[in-house]
Amino acid sequence: MSSKLKALFFLFLIVTAFISSAYLFLPQKFQSLDNRIRDFYFTVRGPQKTDENIVIVDIDEKSIKALGQWPWERDTFAQILKNLSLDGAGIIGLDIVFSEADKTSPKQFAKRWHLPSQNLPDTDQILADTIAKTPTILGYVFDFTEHNNNEAPQIPAIFIQKHKKKREFLPQAKGVLANLPIIQNAAYSSGYMNNIPDPTGMIRSVPLLIKYDDALYPSLAFEMYRIASNAQKVTLHYSPAGIESIELSKQKISPDRFGRLHVNFRGPFKSYKYISAVNVYTNHINPKDIAGKFILIGTSAYGLMDLRSTPMDSVIAGVEVHANVIDNLLHNDLLKEPSWEESVNLSIIILLALFIFFFLSRLSLILLSLTFLTTLLLLLYGNYYLLFTQHLILNIFFPLTTMVLSLIGVLGVNFMYEFSQKELVKKSFSKKVSKQVMNDLLSHVENTDLSAKELETTIYFSDIRSFTTISETLKSPRRITEFLNFFMNAMVISIEKYQGTIDKFIGDAIMAYWNAPLPVKNHADKAVQTALEQIAKRETLNRTIHEKFGFSIDYGIGINTGNVVVGEIGSSGRSDYTIIGDAVNLASRLEGLCKPYKVRLVISEFTKEQLTQEYVIQMLDMVQVKGKHEPVKIYEVLTQGTAAAAKKQELQEYEKAHQTYINADFSLAKELFAILHQKYEKYLYKLYKERCEHLEVENIQEFNGVFTFTTK
């Protein structure tokens, strides 16, 4: 396993362990953040169609202005219930509690003043009688802060708990604020009105059942729905994680493990049909708006303080929360948080971390960014889709946190890995290439392949002539080193200037190449231009060398172009970035041929074919060097640019003499080369003259123009 993979695996374990532990043991610390993301989903989704069978009778500002300050006389409220019943209300739920006697009742007034009250009307009794004759479900409130001995109302339903665990998952109340007994006893059933906000003050879920004195009690909305469904029995199914489902009739409701229904809110305030209570009282309503429907009576008046905050609106009447719950139950599209949700969330956390650490980490930065953003959008959309089509709540905060922390980990590891790669590149090439090439390598380190591969390169060899004599002259190793450093520095400056790569220093010789490790356009031209510049600076160098060391130097350069193997080559413990191949050997031989031809620059026909610039080039010979079976044409590059007229004349005369030589007319060729040597005093012409004399004596019958070298 590579060091990078080990680092990724280590970080993967840390991130998954940290996120999983936070999710399992500190979920409430981060619940509000998860909720806020889900609230945003509601905003994106927007309002939905509400059930027309749910109507809210609103004790609004208009009604209070018309009927007086709340609470109204009980007979006034009784009249509202009578009118609703006469218009055929299916079931009426009161988001109101009548916990005290009506102080405005004539009978109560008489009793308070010790007056005869036998024949006086009792408005509490009037309301009780009305409740008994109408499909009214009362509301009451549980107290979770202080204990009291009040009895909760009786519920005409059987509650069964299957596979109940010792741990209690349902909310447990300490006390109850109930209706007056005279009113409570008249009602068929009741339901608590508690809508418990989360720590942020937002209503997102409501408890369907609350436990009090070891008995189970339903919420107002749940009890209204149960009665409308004709369900006499409610069964709670438990699993080890908590409440699995609540069953009534043939319907299974899936709350969370604590028996809470996560409300699938339909919209903002007044998404349902609202009817002003005063209009019901005066009977100025359309019976079609009432007949057979769920009627909830509550208040939206600001002074009565029954206002709540939901994901769809910051201010909504509390009674509308009950309407949303009934709507969810009717359409069975409540948001579910099943007991197995923890396992799914943990699996998502681990899979996301695996994906980012062991897949995205292999991509380039651009692909990593694009894939990460795509995955992020898919995660958000998938969570949104499951929430509003499958009505399934899955945690989104912890998976998002996993993605962010995993990305930070991957970027950190990649940064450290790239840093180490850059250090490796620096170490491998700091003494081989120019700063420009080094910067290019570091800028594209992810695309820099140091493994061995075949490439076309132009190879350069240079060597100082008579270095043995120079060493004997200098004698001191320190002086020899000082001289070599001075000379090599001047040569290297030219090589780096034309984007060459230094391969090695071999005593007094230099090996370099072009087109690796980075591509070099017109690499043959770059190599030849390097050599011409080095030859041009010879006189300047020699002046300094003569002043410092007391002698002058000369050097030869050989250049060849061909395919080589380039890359990290060596043992497992020690390797070097270098090139090997037949083309390298030929370049070395060409440098050696500078001596017999007494020239400073020899290039092969393969390099000449690659040149794109204009040069003054003279063919030297067709030779077969030691170790090579195929002959190769070699050339001397005299200068860059166009040849002067005199030089053109010389080259034309030489070409004629050389062609005569190739045609094996050695006698005539000898005379032509003699004229050339006498006229231009170039050693090459003398060499050919002497060779023609030798060949003429040998009387060679078959001649191919190839000169074979038997030594290096």
pLDDT, tens only, 547-600:
999 899 999 999 999 999 988 777 665 667 789 999 999 999 999 999 999 999
Q: Enumerate the β-bridge partners of residue 564.
A: 455
Amino acid 325: pLDDT = 97
Question: Residue range 261-266: average pLDDT?
Answer: 94
230: left (phi over 0), alpha (psi -120 to 50) or beta: left
Amino acid 448: pLDDT = 53
Amino acid 451: pLDDT = 67
**Among 352, 350, 398, residue whose Cα is nearest residue 371:** 352
pLDDT: is 103 or 68 the higher one?
68
> What angle (nearest 5°) sits at the alpha carbon of residue 435, between those of residues 434 and 441?
95
Amino acid 603: pLDDT = 97
Lowest mean pLDDT segment, chosen from 346-360, 417-431, 469-483: 417-431
How many angstroms from the chain centroid is the CA of residue 152? 55
Percent helix, strand, coil in the chain (nearest 5)?
A: 45, 20, 30
Distance between terminal CA atoms of the chain? 48
Instruction: Give dist(CA 396, CA 83) in Å, integer.
Output: 48
Instruction: Give dist(CA 285, CA 290) in Å, integer.
Output: 8
SS3 129: helix
Question: Residue range 100-118: average pLDDT?
Answer: 71
C-alpha to C-alpha distances, 419 to 16, 409, 414, 424, 629, nearest whole angstrom: 26, 15, 8, 9, 47
Instruction: Give dist(CA 353, CA 15) in Å, integer.
Output: 8
Amino acid 576: pLDDT = 73
Amino acid 109: pLDDT = 65
Lowest mean pLDDT segment, chosen from 42-46, 603-607, 622-626: 622-626
Instruction: Give the sign of the dihedral formed by CA 483, CA 485, CA 491, CA 493.
Output: negative
Task: Please say if the pLDDT value at position 2 is more than 80.
Answer: no
Instruction: Give dist(CA 466, CA 354) in Å, integer.
Output: 65
Task: Please say if the pLDDT value at position 188 is more than 60.
Answer: yes
CB 323 within 8 A of CB 272: yes
pLDDT band for position 134 (cuts 50, 70, 90): very high
Residue 147: CA count within 13 A, CB half-sphere = 2
Instruction: Give dist(CA 562, CA 587) in Å, integer.
Output: 10
pLDDT band for position 322 (cuts 50, 70, 90): very high
Instruction: Give dist(CA 187, CA 40) in Å, integer.
Output: 41
Amino acid 431: pLDDT = 54
Q: What is the mean pLDDT of the chain?
A: 89
Instruction: Give dist(CA 277, CA 299) in Å, integer.
Output: 9
Instruction: Give dist(CA 194, CA 211) in Å, integer.
Output: 13
Question: Residue range 420-444: average pLDDT?
Answer: 58
Lowest mean pLDDT segment, chosen from 118-127, 266-275, 311-320, 470-479: 118-127
Question: Residue range 659-684: average pLDDT?
Answer: 93
pLDDT band for position 413 (cuts 50, 70, 90): confident
pLDDT band for position 1 (cuts 50, 70, 90): low
Question: Residue range 362-386: average pLDDT?
Answer: 93
Question: Residue range 644-658: average pLDDT?
Answer: 93
Amino acid 518: pLDDT = 85
Q: Enumerate the β-bridge partners of residue 618.
A: 636
Per-domain residue ranges for the chain?
Answer: 3-28+340-425, 51-157+169-331, 430-641, 643-712
Lowest mean pLDDT segment, chosen from 78-92, 326-340, 427-441, 476-490: 427-441
Q: Of the ranges 301-310, 330-339, 593-602, which is most confident?
A: 593-602
Q: pLDDT digit string (tens) for 498-529? A: 999 998 999 899 999 999 888 999 999 999 99
Instruction: Give dist(CA 173, CA 441) in Å, integer.
Output: 71
Q: Of the ranges 151-155, 249-253, 551-555, which is most confident?
A: 551-555
Beta-carbon contacts of 310 under 8 Å, excluding residues fewer than 6 positions away, are: 202, 203, 204, 263, 265, 316, 321
Task: Please say if the pLDDT value at position 373 is more than 80.
Answer: yes
pLDDT band for position 242 (cuts 50, 70, 90): confident
Which amino acid is present at 550? Answer: G
The β-bridge relationship of strands 313-317 and 307-310 is antiparallel
125: left (phi over 0), alpha (psi -120 to 50) or beta: alpha
SS3 634: strand
Instruction: Give dist(CA 680, CA 661) in Å, integer.
Output: 19
Q: Give the homologous superfamily in CATH for domain 430-641.
A: Nucleotide cyclase, GGDEF domain (3.30.70.1230)
Q: Of the ranges 5-19, 38-52, 150-164, which is most confident?
A: 38-52
Amino acid 430: pLDDT = 57
pLDDT band for position 105 (cuts 50, 70, 90): confident
Question: Residue range 300-313: average pLDDT?
Answer: 87
pTM of the entire predicted model:
0.64
Instruction: Give dist(CA 170, CA 219) in Å, integer.
Output: 13
Amino acid 339: pLDDT = 72
Question: Residue range 357-385: average pLDDT?
Answer: 92
pLDDT band for position 473 (cuts 50, 70, 90): confident
Amino acid 170: pLDDT = 92
